Structure 1
């Protein structure tokens, strides 16, 4: 409040009566940053400055012409004012300090009655009361006693409503009493002795729910009843299984009939024989005197026609070191309505994998040969070519008939 700035000073604070020569004739208050005119009158700086800026500027006291060049700060008056004795601005609150005006700013920094800002909440408190306010300030930081995180005091109670570690009472009032909020659901699901739980034999028909601690006693009476019910159910299921097995067997027989009509029936069938080298090797290493043979999936000469397949001997029939290929007539669902013996022209082709012509062998069935008569067994003996192609030619590194390790054999039926 010392006279080096434009601070307002309450005249009532001065211990002694303020002389008129230290008052501004314009604002009638104690001079603030006093300026003196050439005619010797004193004014507040902020009061005289507007006068100096007017066109016809004259002293407000005696009308003497003045301007900014001959009006100057009055340091003597400033020093005189700063030496005046004043009471503390907070004397009404109880402060008894009295001192020079120049010392008032320093006193304010230590006066217990001046208001200071609480760094926690931002409110103003007398300096003497701040020390007692801070420990109870609603915005001071405190740790949650359950989870350890820090919150303002005013936020701590709302935090308890969501704190995962806050102990909540068991809704069933079990001996555990309280459990952390985060474990509450697990407590009811796995631990609470008074929680009603489904009977362990619910899958066998028991619909009762009993306290977890009483489950053992409940099972003592429940188990015999469920055992009897379960035995009856097992007997019924056994009967059902037998009926289903019978139905399945009947369905399987029906499926065979249906399957017999699902083979290719366009008069042409191409067979992809895979893993040829392995099959040849296994056939050559056989211990049995009987040659190894492989049958293709069945196919039909035409819709409602003859059922047939192809048969190969990977190592040849009778150790000829050739791939043997035979045409085989099979017992089929339409044999009773077909003419016998079979007399349609047959062509077997080992297809080239390089756009070559392949190896073609034709068969013209001789009605006298039993190969083409109506089958009495599931398959007739095959008719074809024991030396269809040599294994050396078939399995050579430059073989045009191998695609990786597979060959393609086509059978065509010609209808005259």
Structure 2
């Protein structure tokens, strides 16, 4: 069914037409895009008014559009306020420390002040503000602090004076004779100490000779100096170490490594102040360990021969005459790195009965007799 309408043949409404037969109405589009509009951010204060076709371009630069801070602080602000925020108010902005000129993130600035070398801190003696790194110099003898207490330069000689720099100057001027006498006393004490040291060395040499004689008698053959390994162990702060050992069952004191002789086996001692195993909390236990050494490749791989060793605890009483505690045992060297233990080395009661412990320290001597094949 068709008819003519204004000179154009009219087809039935049900006939589909190809989309290519339609053309955009550019005139209407131009009319629409030329319409005058206001900015989307008008309610926030933007006064821009322009044609619709320019809206996207304006939105890219509109100062009233909200954005998240580019420094990552989480603040949301209008674009026009962003630069000032990032430079002046943002917690994540970088700033220079006023004192050391280091660049620091603003939110960490207070933490930085707590360790800044140039941050001014108040001197506890004169209340002057001093850069942190110069505090020690400020309160020293050569410093400028007028109120810090200073020791007399002759304190090591026994002078007890402590006073301000001004008082110290007067003290040095007025007590010259006193200081001279203290120095002379110190020199006399040093000589006495030197003599005592020489006597002690002579005593040690005598003890070593006696020990050599004892070993010769026991094993039936002469021994040379190289056959004997002697290690002396000075253990300090005994009370604190005993407390730890009683709290922690496996806690022990370990000696520095030492060798059984020139190019010999490497040994170390382990001492348990609180005891171990069946003698826990009643005795002092001690072990001797054979560990990896620098000369193992030159030593017998499987040295089964037993070597006698002893532990000697020295009585520190001034008038004691050869009062010692000696415990002996045997040791063999094997590839398994052996350990020999004396769990009941010294009872806590025995320690209290003698002066093995003096000034919170004790002296232990380890002696090993080597019978090399």
Q: Would you call these one fold, judging by a TM-score over 0.5? A: no
Q: TM-score range by the shorter chain?
A: 0.3 to 0.5
Query: Scaled by the length of structure 2, what TM-score is found?
Result: 0.39
**Largest Rg, 1 or 2:** 1
